[in-house]
Amino acid sequence: MSIQMDMRVTHLLCSRMCHDLISPASAVKTGVEFIQDTGSGMEADALSLLENSAGQLNAKLTFFRSAFGRGGEADNLSRVRELVQGLAGGGKVSLDWPMEAGDLALGRDAARLLLNLLFLAFDTVQVSGILTVRLANLSEGIGVAIAMEGRGVRIRDDLTEAMEPGVSIESLTPRSVQAYFVCRLTEDMGTTIEVSQPEPDRVEIASLLPTMG
């Protein structure tokens, strides 16, 4: 991949993250302005808006730092689960992920891959969904089974095209770049990803996390 291609993917990922962050950031700004403009006893409502929006903003920034940056601290299952709970905290997605017995160390690269697999599942949600996560400690690595289920959950055509071998990077958009990016991550780690829609309103994602750092 040429440096020009690398930069296009970087720009698209940045656009995607900014799109996801602008809504809670704008809500924080609105809450501040509301407090400044009103003296009618509505400060409690504004403070509630500020608290909720700031929490969403912090959760998304923390998730993105671990999923896309090099400074994230996620390196075990419990931390990954905590980050995904924060991302789902906006109410659109509910999480079904029982805490495994003990805490399994993943290493930051494997944790980053798992976060990106889960983030891809969020891209299949149209209205709302239930995110189910199950893991199995296998001899060749950690098996990951992810399912997103809910009204309108589907694999959009642009996501399918972005995961095709040999896809043109020029065809990617901020909405589809995550699908492309997670496929490249799996290739870099010597593993694979399987995405399927076995029935309407349900998408399944499967992969194998190598036990590596």
Question: What is the CATH class of 3-209?
Answer: alpha beta
In 3D space, the residue among 209, 9, 8, 13 whose CA is nearest the CA of residue 117 turns out to be 209
**Structural contact between residues 131 and 85, judged by C-beta atoms closer than 8 angstroms:** no
Quick one: pLDDT band at residue 2, thresholds 50, 70, 90? very low
Closest CA to 63 of 79, 81, 87: 87
pLDDT of 146 above 70: yes
> Is residue 195 within 8 Å of 136, Cβ to Cβ?
no
Q: How many CB atoms lie within 10 A of CB 139?
A: 5
Q: According to the model, what pLDDT value does residue 9 have?
A: 79
Rounded to whole angstroms, the Cα distance separating 118 from 84 reads: 8
> In the predicted model, is pLDDT for residue 39 greater than 80?
no
For the cut 60, the answer to whether the pLDDT of residue 103 exceeds it is yes
**Mean pLDDT, range 31-38, rounded to an integer:** 69
Residue 91 exposed, middle or buried by CB count within 10 Å (0-12, 13-18, 19+): exposed
Can you give the residue ranges of every domain in the chain? 3-209
Q: What is the pLDDT of residue 76?
A: 83
What is the value of pTM for the model shown? Answer: 0.84
The more confidently predicted of residues 188 and 70 is: 188
For residue 3, is pLDDT > 50? no
Q: At 127, phi and psi to the nearest 5?
A: -115, -60
Q: Report the greatest alpha carbon distance in the chain.
A: 64
